[in-house]
Amino acid sequence: MEKTASTSHALKGSFAIVMASFLWGTTGTAAQFAPEISPLAIGAFAMGIGGVLLCVSARKSLFKDTRILFLKPLTFLFGSACVAIYPLAFYSSMRLSGVAIGTVVSIASAPLFAALLEYVLSKKPVSLKWFISFVFGAMGIGLLAMGKSQSMLTLAASQHDQVLGVILGLTAGLTYAGYSWAAKQHIDAGANSQSAMAGLFGCAALVLLPSLWFTGQNLFANTVHTSVSLYMAVVPMYLGYLLFGYGLRTTEASKATLITLIEPLVATLFAIFIIGEVFKPVGWVGMTLVCFCLLIQSIKLPSAFEGTRHKATT
């Protein structure tokens, strides 16, 4: 009975992360409606306001769990710094190298960085199921990028911008994995999932929101800009990270970031059906592989494989 309940909680956690990834997948399409807004401004506003909303909604549990969060001050500061850097790197990467490449590099690199952080900092071995899922997911994301129409690739102004965009995408992947790992550490130490996410995001907001004095001139220039800014802050950031925090209660950071490979899949589908992008057949193969990656995460490996993995890690 206890094992059944545990499996049920794990499935709910994975589903919550899938829903969060779906919401995050809408950000690229939403940003296309306001290209005049600086990527630094949209990232700082969305993550900063999202952090404030998380703190307000989790104020009771956050006050109660403050002591737990500060038991690991370096982990807390590391996670907060990652939250502050992530949106700036992510949205700048998409602006410099194009939405397709920026999203693919940022999201596809996160599971690898998360597994490395867990291995180096938490001494957790990489499971066979994770490795198999990562291979299919990485192949799928690569084919998704190849499936984008060539016209999208011309959005990058120069080869230098393209390279810089990829570097920023890798930075985004590392920081995304970093704050996922930090949040998981606090949750495992006994903090409520909302408290863990709210604490990290609230601390990051202290840096992000003041930066809007220099970058946020166009955030509310017209109705479209205002709608896009508020949507990004409330739906993908606030609601998305509530769901992500809930999922981290029963999901390792490496697995959680692997599941979020659904984000570029969702972003691509929105681009096709809303923006009207042309998509090559190879891209649909990529979508299938990403779905297969998620399917592997939702099933249990045969006992023979599990036994092999157990012997390898003992």
pLDDT digits (tens, 9 = 90+) for 102-117: 777 787 778 778 888 8
Those residues whose C-beta lies under 8 Å from the C-beta of residue 301, and which sit 6 or more positions away, are 128, 129, 309
Q: For the residues 169-177, what does the mean pLDDT come to?
A: 91
pLDDT band at 159 (very low <50, low <70, confident <90, very high): low
How many structural domains compose the chain? 1
pLDDT band at 182 (very low <50, low <70, confident <90, very high): very high
What burial class does residue 123 get, using C-beta atoms within 10 Å of its C-beta: 0-12 exposed, 13-18 middle, 19+ buried?
exposed
Whether 283 is in a domain gets the answer no
Whether 222 is in a domain gets the answer yes
Domain span holding position 117: 14-129+152-253
Whether 30 is in a domain gets the answer yes
Those residues whose C-beta lies under 8 Å from the C-beta of residue 222, and which sit 6 or more positions away, are none
Whether 147 is in a domain gets the answer no
Whether 269 is in a domain gets the answer no
Can you give the pTM of this predicted structure? 0.78
Instruction: State yes or no: pLDDT of 186 exceeds 90.
Output: yes
At residue 312, the pLDDT reads: 42
Instruction: State yes or no: pLDDT of 151 exceeds 70.
Output: no
Instruction: State yes or no: pLDDT of 3 exceeds 60.
Output: no
